[in-house]
Structure 1
Amino acid sequence: MEPFDFVEIKVPAKAEYIGVVRLSISGIANRMGFTYEDIEDLKVAISEAITNAVKHGYNETGEGEITIGFGVYDDRLEVMVADHGGSFNLGDIKQDIGPYKQDDNIEELREGGFGLFLIDALMDKVEINSKYGVIVLMTKYLHEAEVGQNGDQISTSQ
C-alpha cells in the first residue's frame, strides 16, 4: 500500500463545528499544494457532507459524533465523513465501499440527498458505504501533477 498520512478528527454532531472542519481541510489542502479554487470546492463538499451527517445521522438532536478522516497522499486527498463516532478502519471501509451513482435511490441512503449531487460535482470521486451508518468517501486529485504527467504543462518563468 502506498505511503500516506492519516488525520482523524471527531466533532460533536452539531452544525456549529462545520467551520472547524472547513479550516482543517483548508490547512491540509493548502499544505499539499491545491489551488485556491480546489480548496474552495473541498470546503463546500465537506460542509455538505457534515450537514448531511448532522441532519440525518442524528436527526438534528446534536447528540453523537461525526468522524472526519483525511488520507493525505502525494497525488490526492481522500476525505471520509462518517455519521457515527467510531474510528476508521480504512481496510474495512475500502472493502465495503461502492461508487456513488447519480441514479442511486438516494432515499435508501438518506433522505434529502441533494448534498450528494453537489459533492459529486465538486469532487473527482465519491463513494458511499452505508453498512454502518453512512460513510462518504470523497477524493480530490492534485491536478497540477496530472497535467504535468501529460506533458501539457505550460511553464512560465518569473
Structure 2
Amino acid sequence: MMSKNFMNLQFASRSENESFARVTVAAFVSQLDPTLDELTDIKTVVSEAVTNCIIHGYDNSPNGIVYISAEIDEDTVVISIEDRGAGIADVEQAKQPLFTSKPELERSGMGFTIMENFMDEVEITSAVGVGTKVTMKKRLESKKALMN
C-alpha cells in the first residue's frame, strides 16, 4: 500500500479560483483510482467549501486567502479547506439545511448538508473573527478492488 501522501495549496479568495481548487484536489485524489462518482463527490464538496470561504468567510473580497490541504493514507482521503475570515457564530445553525446568512444572494443553504452527504466525516471548527476550517474524510472504494 502507499504511504501517506499530502499536498497544500493556497490561493486568492476569488470565485474564478473555485474551479482551479476542484481540479487540483481531484487530480491529487486520482492517484487512488476513485470511481467517477467518488471523484464527482469530492469535486462537489471542494466547490462548496471553497465557495463558503469566498462568500461567507471573506464576503467576496479578493484579498483573503483560501487554504487547502489534502492527505491520502492508504484508501482514505482527508481534505481540509480553511479561511481566516469572518468565522461562524453558530456552527450548528449553519449546518441546518436551507440556512444561509446571505439570502439576498439566493444561496441554497445546502453547502454543509451536501458535504455531510457526500463524505464519511465532516468536522467544522470556527471562531468569529478568526476563520473557519472544514475537514472532510472519505474512504474510497478503488475501481481495482471493485473488479476483483
TM-score range, shorter chain: 0.7 to 0.9
Q: Deviations over 1:73-102 (max 9, x none)?
A: 1121100000129xxxxxxxxxxxxxxx9x
Match of 2:124, SS? strand
Partner in structure 2 of residue 121 of structure 1: 117
Structure 2 counterpart of 1:116, one-letter code: F
Partner in structure 2 of residue 13 of structure 1: 13
User: How far off its partner does 1:53 sit?
Assistant: 0.4
Q: Deviations over 1:25-79 (max 9, x none)?
A: 1111211121111001100110000000000111112111000000111121100
Q: Give the number of the structure whose alpha-carbon radius of gyration is greater.
A: 1
Partner in structure 1 of residue 94 of structure 2: 106
Residues 49-128 of structure 1 mapped to structure 2, 5 A cutoff: 49-84=49-84, 104-106=92-94, 111=101, 113-128=109-124
Partner in structure 2 of residue 34 of structure 1: 34
Moved over 3 A (4+): none
Structure 1 counterpart of 2:115, one-letter code: I
Whether the 8 Å CA contact 2:12–2:64 is kept in 1: the answer is yes
Equivalent residue in structure 2 for 1:136, among 129, 134, 137: 134
The answer for unaligned runs of 5 or more in structure 1 is: 86-100
When the two chains are superposed, the root-mean-square deviation of aligned CA atoms in Å is: 2.5
Structure 1 counterpart of 2:6, one-letter code: F
Structure 1 counterpart of 2:117, one-letter code: A
Aligned length: 129
Q: Deviations over 1:121-149 (max 9, x none)?
A: 1111111111441100011111249xx6x
Partner in structure 2 of residue 94 of structure 1: none
Match of 1:143, SS? coil
Whether the 8 Å CA contact 2:48–2:115 is kept in 1: the answer is yes
Cα distance, 1:106–1:36 mapped onto 2, change above 3 Å? same
Identity %: 25
The answer for unaligned runs of 5 or more in structure 2 is: 86-90, 103-108
Question: What TM-score do the two structures reach when normalised by structure 1?
Answer: 0.73
In structure 1, what is the Cα distance between the partners aligned to 2:40 and 2:32?
A: 14
User: How far off its partner does 1:118 sit?
Assistant: 0.9
Question: What TM-score do the two structures reach when normalised by structure 2?
Answer: 0.77
Structure 2 counterpart of 1:79, one-letter code: I
Partner in structure 2 of residue 24 of structure 1: 24
